[in-house]
Amino acid sequence: MPYLIPFLIIVLVLFVAVILFRTFTFGDAQQKFEPLQVFAPNPDRVAERLSKVIQCQTIAFDETTPVEPQKLKELRSVLEKNFPHLHKTCEKQLINDGSLLFTWKGKNEALDPILFAGHQDVVPVDGQDLTKWTHAPFDGTIADGYLWGRGALDMKNQVVAVLESVERLIESGFQPNRTVYLALGHDEEIGGTRGAAKIVEWLKHNNIRLEAVIDEGGMIISGLLPGIDTPFATVGIAEKGMATINLQLEMAPGHSSAPPHHTAIGIMAQAITKLENHPMPAEPEIMLPLMRAVGKSLPFVLRMAFANLWLFKGLVINTLRKNPQGDAAIRTTTAVTLIKGGIKDNILPPNANATVNFRIKPGECLADILQHIRDTIQDERIQLVPNEDILWDASPVSDTESTPYAVLKETIQKVFDNVPVASQIFPAATDSRYYYAVCKNVYRFMPLHISKDAMKGIHGIDERISVEALEKMVQFFGALIQAYDGMRNKS
């Protein structure tokens, strides 16, 4: 017994020592690079071109109301006028009457091509919100150092930045060794089945394998996650899948003067509450690449928690649960988006229906979601009906040890002052998922330093991008095209 207390003290000291050692050694060493600037700044030119592109109202409302063909034709005319060298040098193909595929032929056919993906369509603007915009959403106004309008962030900015970078490279006399494709879908906002999917079909038909694909995705952000104020860049190496499940309940109607304890609406409300209070399992390990990238600048407590997930996993989950972005990063999310029920105030509702949207993390599938719903609501009266039109698994996960990823990461650091770079599972859907059929190195990155508040403009009010940031995007893509062109070995 006299030896027990010293023994416990030794164990406690060793326990604390392990925690502290793991904490202080947590974090990846970041290689430093000299700053890189490919082009002399020409921000006014690129801003004017994006302004004209935004004025083309290529709105995709829903699957039954895609972009008007005339609006796409108008946009093609604007692109041809504003990027004359690109159109003269690159072969242009119209895919499925809406999407564009530019081929910038390389001198060395032994090198697999690189493809830069984007989309021409944008989401609509709610008519009731028009008066809330500082500048009209389709005027493409340039004011106060910003370019304002729908598509300024999602993602006509990236489309124009890529085209502008190619335009300037051609003007400078650059000729690629490796073929470069510029693929611009026209229905990404409503699924991509008419656009990117058809472009991939064309690539497959022509036996074209790609060395890498770059599409929209992660950005350079700060203040988005609690405790992380240091700017960091995220590259999406996979994206979540999607499933929309309709919960349907039917009951006998009757007079509201003699109701049961719970009407169909009440029963459905209970099911919804259970689903919201019991989300699908969390996996904080998903965030370890990000946390290691910024580990040296993390607050001590957060650094200690992620360095010792074996001990603090529950604490990390509960902390991230309070932040929508953090919570979405570590689990398949559950969002109740529609509810219907009842026909009159004095009639017991004969039915109640709820629509729940899930964003599926890699490693889970529709069967997992359906089982989770059944186990959670525990009510056989409610039928589960998946929407077959909104259903796909998470994408494959791209390799972070590949040469294309290393080149992308290095270019980000060279152009953006050695910002830490980390991989992530991108929470939203993009056209990227289609390209795995012809490429294993698919990466999602938008070279844009953006604040948490500015991100609200994506699909929101006052969408805008600073003219300075837009020019930086052009410089980045110019650097990346040349860096990929210098890659000689296949990954």
CATH number at residue 338: 3.30.70.360
- On whether both 283 and 382 belong to a single domain, the answer is yes
422 and 359 share a domain? no
Stretches where the chain sits below pLDDT 50 are 491
pLDDT, tens digit, for every residue of 314-329?
999 999 999 888 899 9
Out of 375, 392, 409, pick the residue that ends a domain: 392
224-259 pLDDT, tens digit per residue, is 776 777 899 999 999 999 999 999 999 999 999 999
Both structure tokens of 48:
């004017």
- The answer on 371 and 407 residing in a single domain is no
Tokens of 362: 């890699």
In this structure, how many other beta carbons lie within 10 angstroms of the beta carbon of residue 287? 20
> What residue has token string 């390799």?
399
Number of structural domains, the chain? 2
Q: What is the extent of the structural domain holding 222?
A: 43-238+397-485
Does some domain include residue 115? yes
- Please tell me whether residues 198 and 245 are part of one structural domain: no
Say whether both 63 and 133 belong to one domain: yes
Phi, then psi, of 293 in degrees rounded to 5: -65, -40
CB-based burial, 381-396: b 16+ in 10 Å, e otherwise: ebeeeeeeebeebbbe
> Annotated catalytic sites, by residue?
121, 188
Domain match, 413 and 455 both: yes
340 and 463 housed in the same domain: no
Q: Which residues contact 74 (CB under 8 A, 6 or more apart)?
A: 56
Q: For residues 231 and 152, state if they share a domain.
A: yes
* 275 and 296 inside one domain: yes
CATH number for 75: 3.40.630.10
Neighbouring residues of 255: CB distance < 8 A, sequence distance ≥ 6: 346, 347, 348
Q: Is residue 19 part of a domain?
A: no
| Residue 197 falls in which region: left (phi positive, over 0), alpha (psi -120 to 50) or beta | alpha
In a domain, 161, yes or no: yes
Q: What is the pLDDT of residue 187?
A: 97
For residue 25, is it within any domain? no
Q: Tell me what pLDDT residue 490 has.
A: 53
Is residue 33 in a domain?
no
Out of 392, 409, 425, pick the residue that ends a domain: 392
Same domain, 220 and 231: yes
Q: Are 137 and 251 in a shared domain? A: no
Query: Does any domain span residue 178?
Result: yes
In a domain, 177, yes or no: yes
Residue-level pLDDT at 488? 66
- 453 vs 201: CA distance, rounded Å: 38
- Let me know if residue 275 belongs to a domain: yes
Domain boundary among 367, 392, 417: 392
Same domain, 321 and 381: yes
Count the neighbouring beta carbons within 10 Å of the beta carbon of residue 196.
28
- State the pLDDT at residue 491: 47
